[in-house]
Amino acid sequence: MKSLRLALDIALTHLLAKKRQTVIAMLGVMFGISMFIVMISFMQGVNQFTLDLALDGSPHVRIYNPIKNDRQSIIEQQGNNADAMYIVHHQKPKSELPKIKNGMRILRDLEQWPGVQQAAPNLSTQVFYNSGSVQFAGSMIGCDILKENVLYDLENKLVTGTLEGLLTNTDGILLGDELAEKMNVKVGDRISISTPQGSLLLMRVVGTFSFGFSAVDGMRSYATLASVQKILQKDPQYITDLVIRLEDYTQAKALAKTLTEIYGYTAEDWETTNAAILAGEVIRNVMTFVVSLAMLVVAGFGIYNIMNMSILNKLKDIAILKATGFESHNIVSVFLLQSIIIGLLGGVLGVLTGGFFSYLISITPFPSGTGFNIATFPVLFEVKYYLLGIVFGFLTTLFAGWFPARRASRVDPVAIIRG
């Protein structure tokens, strides 16, 4: 313990004797760690934002009956006969309906499925929202609004109106707030909805909602199942989708595979649905760690060079210490302690600086017109990132100081004193 205290006193004396070198080394560690904290906090904030966006805007699992476009042509059905000649006029695509047969029976099965929090029937269709002589293309979802509320927490996403308005008005409709703004309508106004097949229905706006994503808020609307079945002229059993919310969304992929095998319809998990949104997560994580690690390595090389210069300047001091009875491990301790002190002080300053800049980013207004309804840049504040930064900084300086310290311990005092 006494030798360690002496080694610490000598290390502090060396650091204070070369204050400029010490500060430069400390700043290198500080900037490396602060950059690591800022980048990982911001990137993880973006990742969390995209994850929340994906989970809020889509069900954990969706079962549907896709329209198949891979039907063989008439010529292909006749086989490869090189001697024959075929003349085909205007082959029309096969008329298929996206209806899920026995959908309500499957729904009852799903409601009893372990781990399923809520299952609901949907009838989705493409429509035109008519505002005077202007038409806006979008999609309408016929649903059981109370079940849909459990799936998407619609009640907390309402901007105006209430969910009960859809239950009490057979011709009611909930519009995305951006869509309502484009159409210049509000609660109580009537709008006309038309389908590509030419059906037309007058509906009353009972509320507006916001998911915070223009692709949804500028195109989607909700109505009762009966209303959408009416505009499509379909029977009361006609549904196109079964949507599911799980207690644990990480089980969605496995459940989707199982449901596809059991019912024969396509079951798509939320990750597949939002693959385009989530694609950048891996790239962002790799970029964060590569850039941060590079900066810490640069800081480590700075400490390495400074420690080497310190050893060259202190060769006579090292020789005297060895001549007075200092062992090699004591010399290692002196220079290793210098690196550790630089690493810890630089780490603490880096954490404080990184936290400050992360906070500045978190209160910076997010640019409008980007398609996302978000007030400020997303930043995730997690204690583990700050601890990770200090550990990275400590390890970097430890390795950077180890090799010069080993070199110092091998100095031959006799050769140095003789000159």
Over the stretch 199-247, which tens digit does the pLDDT of each residue have?
888 999 999 999 888 888 899 999 999 999 988 888 888 999 999 999 9
- Which segment of 64-68, 185-189, 251-255 scores lowest on mean pLDDT? 64-68
Residue 168 has pLDDT above 70, yes or no: yes
pLDDT category at 253 given cuts 50, 70, 90 is: very high
Residue 1 has pLDDT above 80, yes or no: no
pLDDT at 98: 78
- Angstrom distance (rounded) from CA 196 to CA 139: 11
Tokens 């024969």 belong to residue: 264
pLDDT at 401: 78
User: Across residues 376-391, what is the average pLDDT?
Assistant: 88
| Better pLDDT: 268 or 54 | 268
Over the stretch 140-161, which tens digit does the pLDDT of each residue have?
999 999 999 999 889 989 999 9
| Better pLDDT: 201 or 85 | 201
Q: Which of 310, 324, 340, 326 shows the shortest CA–CA distance to 407? A: 310
Mean pLDDT of the chain: 83
pLDDT at 10: 78
- Domain ranges for the chain: 2-55+279-418, 61-70+96-273
**Cα–Cα–Cα angle for 324, 328, 333, nearest 5°?**
100
pLDDT at 414: 66
Over the stretch 277-301, which tens digit does the pLDDT of each residue have?
777 778 888 887 788 777 777 777 7
- Angstrom distance (rounded) from CA 268 to CA 243: 10
- Which segment of 4-13, 230-239, 244-253 scores lowest on mean pLDDT? 4-13
Cα-atom radius of gyration of the chain, to the nearest Å? Answer: 34
pLDDT category at 9 given cuts 50, 70, 90 is: confident
User: Across residues 17-23, what is the average pLDDT?
Assistant: 81
Is the overall model pTM greater than 0.85, yes or no?
no
- Angstrom distance (rounded) from CA 144 to CA 225: 7
Highest average pLDDT, of 9-23, 82-96, 108-122, comes from 108-122
**Is 413 exposed, middle or buried, given 0-12, 13-18 or 19+ CB atoms closer than 10 A?**
middle
pLDDT at 419: 58
pLDDT at 251: 93
pLDDT at 118: 93
pLDDT at 357: 94
Residue 84 has pLDDT above 60, yes or no: yes
